[in-house]
Structure 1
Amino acid sequence: MSDLNDKQSLYPPDWLEVESLDLDAQGVAHRPDGKVVFIDGALPFEWVTANTHRKKNNWEQASLTAVHRESPQRVRPGCPHFGLHSGACGGCKMQHLHVGAQVAVKQRVLEDNLWHLGKVKAETLLRPIEGPAWGYRYRARLSVRHVIKKGTVLVGFHERKSRYVADMEVCPVLPPHVSAMLMPLRALIAAMDARDTCPQIELACGDSVTALVLRHLEPLSSDDLARLRAFAAEHGVQWWLQSKGPDTVKLLDEGGAQLSYALPEFGITMPFKPTDFTQVNPHINRVLVSRALRLLEVQNNERVIDWFCGLGNFTLPLATQAREVLGIEGSETLVARSRENYESNQAQMPAGRALAATDFVARNLFEMTPEMLVADGVADKWLVDPPREGAFALAKALADLEQARIGAEGAGPLPAGAEGWTPPQRIVYVSCNPATLARDAGLLVHLAGYRCTAAGMVNMFPHTAHVESMAVFERA
């Protein structure tokens, strides 16, 4: 700690030098005795003072009170509701950091996770995928609260570290037309009979349709339905109603344009329902799909499996390049929607450009076994796009097969029919959690016979601490 002590001697004893950012966008500093201090609002290379509000033996949590030497990467936040003040919106964590520096921090998080959790180092670092820093959030879940004491209705994200809804008038990360709708939405709910029983509005924007899903705990009156229709006509939105679980979501009025997004590079249009999982950031999603397929290098004589295929976001583009595609997903409902999307796109393909033979299967991918893997048949390439929990069971099944094949100590026997089964030559793994990617990468590299040839971050959620990434694994 001598360097730190030498520097510290130049400044007052209560000043702290911020060295890095953690996954929650907190500044990380050390006291002279080596104790770690996490500081909300502080940035790397700054000298700050902070107020400790939580103490443990090895670390402290503190809030920024003053910046004495400011980081050159500190910028003015683009939203009036961002900050450390009481009532600040908790939807973003990094607006005070230049967006280029945000990308560098997230790339470092990815590399650190791969090494510290998986003991894996990518042979090549991919250039980060970046896009618009504002107006990018085409999906959002907005909380609604009628606050009787304030005599107002709030619509927006929660306050920082709070269950209360932030008093938001605008939101620059939402599309501009949606941000401009926040105050009219507050007025709409305030005028409704059901103002106390509508806890949530879910936003889903397609390329040409903006859908709003109103969660209502009691049946809506005819007057309220009329108010919703008038709002839809004035603001050009499509209302959906949700009385209970996701399966109860229905259009307020049938007809009108269909919610969808396009992947123009592949000639694909993806219809979806407002509660289906789609990527929050469509600008990044288009680049993400293009890069994933470019890295996979699918040939027209190859069979490809798309694990955790969802609505077919990767499956249908893969079907424009491969000989045969299998999409596997945990939800029966999503599998049915994938088939519908495949059939509608197949029908719209120009002459001579039919999609490859593609099948969709519903299966619990968190309970994969070597036997199930063998039963799915040989595939030349894999695309893996799991939720935050990662693809541990899938990676472990692949590792177990490899360990059995080479006769490793403690390995089980090869399953029946596995003698002719071969693992995929290449895997592209798209991740929304660097920790579970690192864990699965450890299995693939150290037990399943792969090299991690490339990895890079994807800035799907600018101004948040969320790290999306992509890694490529090549059969060694």
Structure 2
Amino acid sequence: MANFYKASVKAKQSNQLVMVSVDKLDINGVGVARWQNKPLFIAGALPNEMVKVKVIEQKNKYARAKLISISKQSDSRVTPHCQHFGVCGGCDLQMLSIAEQLDFKKTKVSELFSRSFSAQQIVNKLEAKDLPWQDSIVGTAWNYRRKARIGVQFDKKCQATIGFRQKLTNQLASIKSCPVLVEPLNAIFPLLKKLLAQLTVKSSIGHIEVIQADIIKTNSPEKIQTDNQVVLVIRQLRPMNNSDVELWQSYAQQHCWHVIVDDGNEQFTLGDIKASSAVELSYTLKDKNKIYFASNDFIQINHQVNNAMISQALAWLDISPTDNVLDLFCGLGNFSLALAKKSKSVVGVEGVQVMVDKACKNAEVNSINNCQFYQADLNSHWLLEPWVKATVFDKVLLDPARAGAEQAVAQIAQLKIPSVLYVSCDPATLARDSAILVSQGYKLEKISLMDMFSQTKHVETMVLFTQ
């Protein structure tokens, strides 16, 4: 949710007031007009609007401006729901209707595909402007995010600012509420600010992670489980004294929080003997699979869209009881366990051994025994690994990080796996990797958006390739 900004090289400052017509949005959701024969970028402006702006930066090939007023408003403009919109760097598109947000994201994907595919590929294999779009996966537009990192900054008087990064700066915006967070995380900011003001060990906190999760207290004889618990992970830079421990415990009891302290070396439940196993976090999927995770593990933050995404993956791959499925970049087993319930076997592969171990545990606790997990660097050559040679795979699912899967898709093509489902969190690397698959004889069968991050420019996409 935080955007980090690095100051640009010196640019000519203008502060000139001008009236311009906005032509389009760029791939970051910023309005683009023409001024002095170069693009003028205006955050917050929408296509077909006439706007008054202040030019704040000029370079040889482009300029930037600050939106001052709108004389002709787009029909797609809506009133931002958040009081911090425009200051907080977390959301980009709250001024745009949900339908237009989805259209913007489709256009962004199509433009990136057009850039990645060679002219011959487009002619013979794919018209990028006419991708085979299916219905988008959408959830609630608000109160969808179940995990976020809240920044904490202290001034010279040790007064704390609680919130997220401002746009184009490393300074925090003081946040009172965040409507994209699930309840009650969205209203936790004033409580944290009040608590931090009472701490006796000042400037001792780096950040606070907030998570909504099911928890099991494993140090309790009954192993008590609580669903949809508010979990706080405090990055503690200096040890707490007894007074601060009691303060955190008081707030936790009053507001039903579970507080975990991270001292940089280990995590432990506040007030307990240091033991990382004092509590286990989990979430339960629609198919009843329970996924256990640690507070610093990657999880899909939109629970509703995650469930729909898994269901669509199973449907698009048309998983049958005779299928052997390869799940690359499998993480904790978010897809693997669901695939295993429908198929003959699943091999999940992940780059980090710790995650492999956790995926194995998740299969075990869900009584799934036709799913094996292995560690491998999927950005290197892995075709000679024993788990590749042991099975003829019918289908493959891959869900890489933003860097994509350039090496992996090239090797998938060599294996000639008939069906490839690519789940992407970055459309630029998706377009690059898709061009590789198409050049190796795959057909782009289906594509859909997954609106994992409503109100933002971030795009998640699912694509099915077949031979």
**Number of the residue aligned with 1:409:** none
1:390, distance to aligned residue in structure 2 (A): 0.4
Match of 2:454 among 454, 462, 465: 462
Pick the structure with more strand per residue: 2
TM-score (norm 2): 0.86
**Distance in structure 1 (CA, Å) of the matches to 2:369 and 2:231:** 32
1:371, distance to aligned residue in structure 2 (A): 3.6
1:58, distance to aligned residue in structure 2 (A): 2.3
Q: Which runs of 5+ in 2 are unaligned?
A: 1-16, 119-125, 215-227
Match of 1:18 among 14, 18, 22: 22
1:217, distance to aligned residue in structure 2 (A): 1.2
Match of 1:308 among 310, 321, 329: 329
SS in 1 for 2:366: helix
Task: List per-residue Cα deviations over 1:172-213 (Å, max 9, x = no partner).
Answer: 111231122211111112211233020100112125222111
Runs of 4+ in 1 over 6 A off after TM superposition: 254-257
- Alignment-mate amino acid for residue 259 of structure 1: L
Matches within 5 A, 1:191-202: 191-202=198-209
Q: Would the aligned equivalents of 1:232 and 1:239 in 2 still touch at CA under 8 Å? A: yes
SS in 2 for 1:365: coil
TM-score (norm 1): 0.85
**Number of the residue aligned with 1:238:** 258
**Distance in structure 2 (CA, Å) of the matches to 1:291 and 1:356:** 23
**Distance in structure 1 (CA, Å) of the matches to 2:254 and 2:326:** 45
1:370, distance to aligned residue in structure 2 (A): 4.2
**Number of the residue aligned with 1:262:** 284
1:280, distance to aligned residue in structure 2 (A): 1.3
Task: List per-residue Cα deviations over 1:84-127 (Å, max 9, x = no partner).
Answer: xxxx2111111111122111111111121122223553752011
**Distance in structure 1 (CA, Å) of the matches to 2:416 and 2:138:** 32
**Number of the residue aligned with 1:358:** 371
1:249 equivalent to 2:267? Answer yes
Match of 1:44 among 36, 43, 47: 47
- Alignment-mate amino acid for residue 401 of structure 2: P
- Alignment-mate amino acid for residue 173 of structure 2: A
Task: List per-residue Cα deviations over 1:442-466 (Å, max 9, x = no partner).
Answer: 00001x2201111121111111111
1:356, distance to aligned residue in structure 2 (A): 5.1
1:258, distance to aligned residue in structure 2 (A): 4.0
1:298 equivalent to 2:312? Answer no
1:249, distance to aligned residue in structure 2 (A): 2.5
Cα distance change on mapping 1:376 and 1:94 into 2, 3 Å: farther
Task: List per-residue Cα deviations over 1:127-162 (Å, max 9, x = no partner).
Answer: 11111111111110110122345x732211011111
Q: Would the aligned equivalents of 1:330 and 1:364 in 2 still touch at CA under 8 Å? A: yes
**Number of the residue aligned with 2:399:** 385
1:319 equivalent to 2:340? Answer yes
Q: Matched residue pairs, number?
A: 424
Q: Would the aligned equivalents of 1:153 and 1:187 in 2 still touch at CA under 8 Å? A: no
1:280 equivalent to 2:314? Answer no
**Distance in structure 2 (CA, Å) of the matches to 1:397 and 1:201:** 41
**Distance in structure 2 (CA, Å) of the matches to 1:211 and 1:186:** 17
**Number of the residue aligned with 1:106:** 105
Q: Would the aligned equivalents of 2:136 and 2:448 in 1 still touch at CA under 8 Å? A: yes
Q: Would the aligned equivalents of 2:291 and 2:362 in 1 still touch at CA under 8 Å? A: yes
- Alignment-mate amino acid for residue 165 of structure 1: L
Cα distance change on mapping 1:154 and 1:376 into 2, 3 Å: farther
- Counting aligned pairs with the same residue, the percent is 33
Q: Would the aligned equivalents of 2:376 and 2:382 in 1 still touch at CA under 8 Å? A: no
**Number of the residue aligned with 1:432:** 425
1:227 equivalent to 2:247? Answer yes
**Number of the residue aligned with 1:140:** 148
Q: Would the aligned equivalents of 1:455 and 1:472 in 2 still touch at CA under 8 Å? A: yes
SS in 1 for 2:331: coil
Structure 1 stretch 140-149 or stretch 209-218: which is displaced more? 140-149
**Distance in structure 1 (CA, Å) of the matches to 2:288 and 2:183:** 27
1:73, distance to aligned residue in structure 2 (A): 1.1
**Distance in structure 2 (CA, Å) of the matches to 1:371 and 1:114:** 31
Cα distance change on mapping 1:125 and 1:234 into 2, 3 Å: same
**Distance in structure 2 (CA, Å) of the matches to 1:190 and 1:14:** 45
